[in-house]
Amino acid sequence: MIHWSLIVSALGIIIAGLGGYCGWSLFPTMIHKKVEQSVIIADGSEQYKRFVNLPQPLNFKVYIFNVTNPDMIQHGAIPIVEEIGPYVYKQYRQKKVKHFSRDGSKITYVQNVHFDFDEDASAPYRQSDHIVALNMHMNAFLQVFEREITDILQGFANRLNSRLNRTPGVRVLKRLMERIRGKRKSVLQIGENDPGLALLLVHLNANLKAVFNDPRSMFVTTSVREYLFDGVRFCINPQGIAKAICNQIKESGSKTIREQSDGSLAFSFFGHKNGSGHEVYEVHTGKGDAMKVLEIQKLDDSHNLQVWLNSSNEGETSVCNQINGTDASSYPPFRQRGDSMYIFSADICRSVQLFYQSDIQYQGIPGFRYSIGENFINDIGPEHDNECFCVDKLANVIKRKNGCLYAGALDLTTCLDAPVILTLPHMLGASNEYRKMIRGLKPDAKKHQTFVDVQSLTGTPLQGGKRVQFNMFLKSINRITITENLTTVLMPAIWVEEGIQLNGEMVKFFKKKLINTLKTLDIVHWVGLCGGLGIAAISLIYYIYQRGRQEDEAPVK
């Protein structure tokens, strides 16, 4: 008869086999299917509810570069800046769903964003704090005027026609505008020394006071609330040519400039973002392919952007205009070590590639850390096959001979309709051509690098943030008195961090729904495998021991 210990040993091997099969095949398959089902956006599902209303607000932190020597800068000194902040806002996102596609694989929506100032997280800083910061709207206007003089003058010609004959000294201006209007040249072709342009700049210079509230420098003293959201007012009761200039600014369609109830204008960085959204997104729901969930398929009914330069081959979209990835509120599931993924940011009109960096733990939740690479804003130009980012819209600034900016800077002029330059915070990694012209910058990769920690199985963001800085060139413009002594520098204005840290409530929910289940299944796997092997080994040892004992006790014949 078979000894009972051999039967127990066989059962142990079977249990170990089942443990191995469950742990390495059955459980992963079950989890994979369960995750696939949970991430798909279906009407009325839990994921749909989380998609429409994010379970928790994002953190939106703003740091402002306060200018400590504005008067000296006006006389050619190098700017000295001091970072103040963070001013912390809770950013609430709500999606207004328009419709699903017929097969349920796409969903179209408009996203509304609302900001609430977080006094506790911002302390000791307050929105009423006064700052001295770059006068973005005046500087932008002067540079746009310089770059696109023809288009502006055509607008002036249309609106000033009824006033010119009544305004002293502007009949000559009218004839000059008509002459230049027929040329159809950009400011770069006309040149600052052209007699017609020279006289036009003289008239512009004379009306700056009426348009921009009698500025004494290229900087503005205002409150944080006004600079970021409520708006810095200008064009207050302008007359004559100043009024025509204000009308032209108003009709230019800039998102950052809004008309007030009294007819004046106001500039703010984010006032236009606080409220109803305008961009129409179409994203993948994950149906049919969970790896595509939340990937943007269309923006404003287009598969690609029309912002950056395209290939000379007709109909071929450049890599710069391609829309790739999600909006960073979540990511596709089943991440692997060493892979990369994309996010798309409408604020800077481009897709950004994130690369795997390391394994992490966030409050007991395992995940992967991803970060931007050199191809974000460092490696740009023909030598990197992405010269489509070199829009070359800025005259007389610090740039390379081929029109591209130096490493670490990206021209957003065609994205924002304003001469804004993107860098990392404190110009981290930027060329010394820019950093050497500003004092007070303290770049730190730990504080200023963009990163995100993602739960690898579900693609859920655990913590991280997009960190970028907005700058403008300061420079002298011929015949504009307020700029005549300026040294050409890339001037920082603000930097922002838009991100998330999964709060305690969401951590508990996540652990309950996923992590604890994974741990339980892992325990079952290893208990079955190790326990079965242990039972089999002990039973086999016992059998061998008993067999040897019987042989020793057997009588010798």
pLDDT at 258 over 70: yes
Give CA torsion, residues 343, 345, 348, 354, to 10 deg: -20
Exposed / middle / buried, residue 120 (Cβ in 10 Å: 0-12, 13-18, 19+): exposed
pLDDT at 315 over 70: no
Q: Quick one: how far is CA 334 from the chain centroid?
A: 23
pLDDT at 116 over 60: yes
Q: Which residue, among 438, 426, 425, 431, has the nearest Cα to 473 in the 3D structure?
A: 438
Band (pLDDT 50/70/90 cuts) for residue 186 is very low
Highest mean pLDDT among 37-46, 368-377, 486-495: 486-495
Q: Strand pairing of 296-299 and 280-284?
A: antiparallel
Query: What secondary structure, in 3-state letters, does 395-434 show?
Result: CCCCCCCCCCCCCCCEECHHHHCCCCEEECHHHCCCCHHH
pLDDT at 4 over 60: yes
Q: Which of 144-158, 231-245, 400-414 has the lowest mean pLDDT?
A: 144-158
Number of CB atoms found within 10 A of residue 498's CB: 20
**DSSP 8-state class, residue 304:** B
Chain segment 385-439, per-residue pLDDT in tens: 889 999 988 888 999 988 899 999 999 999 988 899 999 999 999 999 999 999 9
pLDDT at 301 over 70: yes
Per-residue confidence (pLDDT) for residue 87, from 0 to 100: 98
Band (pLDDT 50/70/90 cuts) for residue 145 is confident
387 token code pair:
């010269």
Exposed / middle / buried, residue 329 (Cβ in 10 Å: 0-12, 13-18, 19+): middle
For a pLDDT cut of 90, what percent of the chain falls above it? 50
Per-residue confidence (pLDDT) for residue 142, from 0 to 100: 87
**DSSP 8-state class, residue 319:** G
Query: 327 — alpha (psi -120 to 50), left (phi > 0) or beta?
Result: alpha
Q: Quick one: how far is CA 234 from the chain centroid?
A: 29
Beta bridge partners of 91: 58, 115
530 token code pair:
């190790």
Mean predicted confidence (pLDDT) in 308-335: 86
Mean predicted confidence (pLDDT) in 106-132: 96
CB of 85 closer than 8 Å to CB of 126: no
pLDDT at 98 over 60: yes
Identity at 94, one-letter amino acid code: Q
Average pLDDT, the chain: 84
Distances (CA, A) of 253 to 272, 412, 541: 12, 16, 85
Place of tokens 């690369």: 355
Handedness of CA 2, 8, 9, 10 (dihedral sign): positive
Mean predicted confidence (pLDDT) in 27-41: 78
- Axis crossing angle, helix 149-164 with helix 136-147, rounded to the nearest 10: 100
Per-residue confidence (pLDDT) for residue 396, from 0 to 100: 86
**DSSP 8-state class, residue 326:** B
Q: Which residue, among 235, 132, 216, 143, has the nearest Cα to 482 in the 3D structure?
A: 216
Exposed / middle / buried, residue 196 (Cβ in 10 Å: 0-12, 13-18, 19+): middle
Q: Which of 97-101, 377-381, 464-468, 515-519 has the lowest mean pLDDT?
A: 515-519
Exposed / middle / buried, residue 231 (Cβ in 10 Å: 0-12, 13-18, 19+): buried
pLDDT at 188 over 50: no
- Long-range pairs of 412-417 with CB within 8 A, sequence gap ≥ 24: 412/348, 412/349, 414/307, 414/308, 414/349, 415/307, 415/348, 415/349, 415/350, 416/255, 416/256, 416/349, 417/252, 417/253, 417/254
pLDDT at 535 over 80: no
Number of CB atoms found within 10 A of residue 227's CB: 27
Beta bridge partners of 365: 362
Per-residue confidence (pLDDT) for residue 189, from 0 to 100: 36
Question: Is the full-model pTM beyond 0.75?
Answer: yes
Chain segment 326-376, per-residue pLDDT in tens: 998 889 999 999 999 999 999 999 999 999 999 999 988 889 999 998 888
Q: Which residue, among 226, 222, 220, 229, has the nearest Cα to 134 in the 3D structure?
A: 220
Q: Which of 125-139, 400-414, 441-455, 505-519 has the lowest mean pLDDT?
A: 505-519
Q: What are the two backbone dihedrals, phi and then psi, of residue 161, each rounded to the nearest 5 degrees?
A: -55, -40
CB of 110 closer than 8 Å to CB of 281: yes
**Between these two residues, 435 and 532, which has the higher pLDDT value?**
435
- Long-range pairs of 275-281 with CB within 8 A, sequence gap ≥ 24: 275/112, 275/113, 275/114, 276/110, 276/112, 277/96, 277/110, 277/111, 277/112, 277/113, 278/110, 279/110, 279/111, 279/346, 280/98, 280/108, 280/109, 280/110, 281/108, 281/109, 281/110, 281/111, 281/327
Mean predicted confidence (pLDDT) in 289-294: 92
Q: Which of 188-197, 237-246, 264-273, 460-469 has the lowest mean pLDDT?
A: 188-197
Exposed / middle / buried, residue 427 (Cβ in 10 Å: 0-12, 13-18, 19+): buried
Per-residue confidence (pLDDT) for residue 278, from 0 to 100: 85
Distances (CA, A) of 336 to 27, 328, 451, 467: 18, 18, 17, 24
Highest mean pLDDT among 77-81, 250-254, 375-379: 77-81
Identity at 283, one-letter amino acid code: V
Number of CB atoms found within 10 A of residue 446's CB: 6
Query: 253 — alpha (psi -120 to 50), left (phi > 0) or beta?
Result: left
Mean predicted confidence (pLDDT) in 142-151: 67
**What is the rounded CA–CA span in Å between residue 240 and residue 425?**
42
Per-residue confidence (pLDDT) for residue 199, from 0 to 100: 67
